[in-house]
Amino acid sequence: MLSYLSDLEMHNNRTWFHETHARYESVRKDFETFTAAIAQQVCEVCPFMADRIRAFPTKRFIYRTARDVRYAAGKPPYKTWFACAVGDEGREKTAMSYYVQIAPQNRSEICVGVWFTDNRKVTDRVRRYISEHADEFARIMADEEVRSWFCGDHVSRTPKGFDANDPMIEYIKYKQWMLSCPIKDEDLTDMDSVVAYCRTVFEKMEDFRAFFDRAVRFARIPEPEEEKEEIPAEEPAVFWPTAKSADEWDF
């Protein structure tokens, strides 16, 4: 995988990709096998999600190699990494999934957490959850290794509606709450050892994942709806789909 991805990085164009497509299919099949093994580990670490995870085909967890150039103008047509996100909603961007990326030049990693939200209400509710469960979150972050993996974008000022003296204020300032464990190329020796290492990291990250899983699910509770004027039967409501599916995002 690393060899192929390194070559793809040097020849990131459609001509080379199609000329070497048989090679791509071979490593892609290997990555599907790897993802299936990762999914099994997640099922064992998170047994309450196992039934939902096993209901998905393996491909549901894997991100596409081709970029959607409509949302990535000027970028190379292909991603130079393989990645999967295993959780009870597949690879959906709102799910609290374990993300595993294989990439050359020491860019492989294992991640979990709230990595993307464009909804201020969701962000603020997660912040509020951290504030209201400060003791639990403090215990999770007391682990030195977990702290070393913590990352995410944050603001410099206290977010509106929060107390600057809140003991969790430094975490409340974040807009993303992530754990990212790097994997060096030299440690990517064989599939079994990497899967075993991922299992060890999942177990270490699970309390963090579970905490934010509860926070995100709480944040998704809809606001009470205002009374709306009933639409006459002769003028049926029309739904215009605007949300992009996971496949349409350039992760």
- Segment 198-209, tens digit of pLDDT: 999 999 999 999
Q: What confidence category does residue 246 fall into, taking pLDDT thresholds of 50, 70 and 90? A: very low
| DSSP at 61 | G
Domain for residue 146, yes or no?
A: yes
Q: What confidence category does residue 70 fall into, taking pLDDT thresholds of 50, 70 and 90? A: confident
Q: Which domain holds residue 175?
A: 2-220
**Nearest to residue 211, comparing CAs of 119, 117, 139, 121?**
139
- Segment 173-185, tens digit of pLDDT: 999 999 999 999 9
Higher per-residue pLDDT: 2 or 231? 2
CA 1, CA 100: separation in Å to the nearest integer? Answer: 14
CA 175, CA 130: separation in Å to the nearest integer? Answer: 12
- Name the β-bridge partners of 85: 99
Domain for residue 211, yes or no?
A: yes
Domain for residue 123, yes or no?
A: yes
| DSSP at 128 | H
Provide the CATH number for the domain around residue 155. Answer: 3.30.930
Q: Check residue 222 and give its pLDDT.
A: 52
**Average pLDDT of 70-91?**
87
Domain for residue 236, yes or no?
A: no
CA 191, CA 9: separation in Å to the nearest integer? Answer: 22
Number of independent structural domains in the chain = 1
**Nearest to residue 6, comparing CAs of 23, 22, 19?**
23
**Average pLDDT of 82-103?**
87
Say what the pTM is.
0.84
Whether 210 has a pLDDT exceeding 50, the answer reads: yes
Residue found by looking up tokens 């990131």 in the block? 12
Domain for residue 245, yes or no?
A: no
Give the percent of the chain with pLDDT over 70.
83
Cβ-based neighbours of 117, under 8 Å, separated by 6 or more: 94, 123, 126, 175, 176
Domain for residue 73, yes or no?
A: yes
**Average pLDDT of 113-118?**
76
Domain for residue 8, yes or no?
A: yes
Query: Highest mean pLDDT: which of 70-79, 107-116, 137-146, 150-159?
Result: 137-146
Domain for residue 243, yes or no?
A: no
Pair 130, 168: CB distance under 8 Å: yes
